[in-house]
């Protein structure tokens, strides 16, 4: 059923009521946009918004700043961990020693104080390297084996003579 004067009259409305209904209907339909025009209106609004919108700067976002701070912290930890390994810290205690470090001094300056308190965190034979010159070969300790001085078969194998 169409919304016409004839259909309203068929519903039993008088001429004055039909005029009021049609006036109200006209004012309510003033902002109506047909479906055929709706897509073009949306496209125009999007294009206008894109023209006026400034280009986004990713480096100003809070997410980027948080990610950059996390990356810088991780990079510092890796560099400091490398320095701690050179300082003789055992691999399994690097995180513990790292947590004991403060930011006001370099890690190398703080290692001696940490070594005094927590000597179990450090390799006992690996003191901090004094020279950076390479060392070749093992250190000689002890003496050469002298061998067994026994002269007979029985003496070598510990067999006692009967008799």
- Domain borders along the chain are 5-52, 78-123
What is the predicted pLDDT for the residue at 64? 92
SS (H, E, C) the chain: CCCCHHHHHHCCCCHHHHHHHHHHHHHHCCCCCCHHHHHHHHHHHHHHHHHHCCCCCHHHCHHHHHHHHHHHHHHHHHHHHHHHHHCCECHHHHHHHHHHCCCCCCHHHHHHHHHHHCHHHECCCCCCCCCCCCCCCCCCCCCCCCCCCCCCHHHHHCCCCCC
What is the predicted pLDDT for the residue at 71? 95
Residues 75-90: what's their mean pLDDT?
89
pLDDT digits (tens, 9 = 90+) for 19-53: 888 888 888 877 777 777 888 888 888 888 888 88
């Amino acid at each position: 059923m169409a919304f016409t004067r004839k259909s309203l009259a068929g519903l039993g409305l008088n001429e004055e009521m039909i005029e009021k209904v049609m006036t109200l209907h006209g004012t309510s339909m003033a902002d109506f946009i047909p479906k055929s025009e709706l897509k073009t209106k949306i496209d125009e609004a999007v294009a206008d918004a894109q023209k006026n919108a400034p280009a986004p700067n990713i480096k100003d976002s809070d997410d980027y700043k948080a990610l950059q701070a996390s990356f810088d912290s991780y990079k510092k930890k890796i560099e400091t961990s490398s320095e701690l390994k050179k300082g003789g810290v055992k691999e399994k205690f690097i995180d513990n020693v790292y947590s004991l470090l403060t930011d006001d001094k370099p890690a190398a300056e703080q290692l001696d104080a940490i070594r005094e308190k927590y000597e179990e965190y450090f390799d006992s034979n690996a003191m901090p390297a004094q020279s950076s010159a390479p060392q070749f070969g093992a250190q000689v300790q002890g003496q050469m084996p002298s061998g067994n001085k026994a002269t007979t078969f029985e003496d070598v194998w510990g067999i006692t003579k009967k008799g």
